[in-house]
A and B are shown apart, each in its own frame.
Chain A
Amino acid sequence: QVNLQESGPGIVKPSQPLSVTCSITGYSIITSYFHWNWIRKFPGRKLEWMGYICYDGSIYYNPSLKSRISITRDTSKNQFFLQLNTVTTEDTAVYYCARGKYYGSHYYVMDAWGQGASVTVSS
């Protein structure tokens, strides 16, 4: 059974980079056709999909973040990473990682999520 666990810094100062790690157990990050997503939930409940890294290493970002975001992975540790640069207080959120896949080549779901890492941007 797949399990995802986020770990993050808790507090980040404005203009600094934010880094969050997702550790995967029970499933290989290189298993064909799976995607490994980052999503964040702002105070007030709004959710934003940030991007994903695929089993083959290809990456897709939300264009709204494209200049600030980087998603990478370490296949030897079965982990993937989020870095968000030049943060502001508006980046305060709970950051989730989630496994994604297509059902029947068309219908997309994120079928396993971590519990989230709360990150506050504050000086």
Chain B
Amino acid sequence: DIQMTQSPASLSASLGETISIECRASEDIYSNLAWYQQKSGKSPQLLIYAANGLQDGVPSRFSGSGSGTQYSLKISGMQPEDEGDYFCLQGSKFPYTFGAGTKLELK
């Protein structure tokens, strides 16, 4: 199975701060990576697909980048509504696997 190593496990950011979350794959996943946000008690919401494609309706302060085995999600200007859990998903090879998640809080 492809292992997805996500970091950091938790993060505290100030209003307006720019933050990054990383996912590293144990082998090349050819940009087949998606990012999700999940707020407490809610369903996960797709933010980014294909490593850098912004899902319709997602604010432009969210962006994704990376290739090969290294990927990142950036939030350019933390907002209160960005608090939640974030995780990555690789869809390159069965079985699909997820990162362990990052808990993002507003400082």
- In the complex formed, the residue of B with least CB distance to A113 is B43
Interface centre among A62, A107, A113, A116 (most CB of B within 10 A): A107
| Contact indicator A45/B100 (Cβ below 8 Å) | yes
Do A107 and B46 form a contact, CB below 8 Å, given A45-B101, A49-B97, A62-B95? no
Q: Return chain A residues, CB-CB under 8 Å to B72.
A: none
Question: Which of the residues A39, A106, A110, A114 comes within 8 Å of B32, measured between beta carbons?
Answer: A106
A-B contacts, CB under 8 A, total: 66
Q: Return chain B residues, CB-CB under 8 Å to A113.
A: 43-45
Question: Which of the residues A49, A103, A112 comes within 8 Å of B50, measured between beta carbons?
Answer: A103
Give the size range of A's interface with the partner: 20 to 34
Q: Return chain A residues, CB-CB under 8 Å to B92.
A: 108
Binary flags per residue of A87-123, CB closer than 8 Å to B gives 1, else 0: 0000000001010000110111111111110000000
For the complex, what is the distance from the CA of A113 to the CA of B45, rounded to whole Å? 7
Give the size range of B's interface with the partner: 20 to 34
Query: Could you list 15 further interchain pairs (A-B, Cβ under 8 angstroms) beyond the known A39-B98, A110-B44?
Result: A4-B43, A46-B98, A49-B95, A62-B95, A104-B50, A107-B53, A109-B49, A109-B50, A109-B89, A110-B34, A110-B46, A111-B46, A113-B43, A113-B44, A116-B43
> Which 8 A-B pairs give the minimum distances between C-beta atoms?
A108-B91, A47-B98, A107-B50, A113-B43, A49-B96, A62-B95, A109-B49, A45-B101
Q: Which residues of B contact A (CB under 8 A)?
A: 30-32, 34, 41-46, 49-50, 53, 55, 85, 87, 89, 91-92, 94-98, 100-101
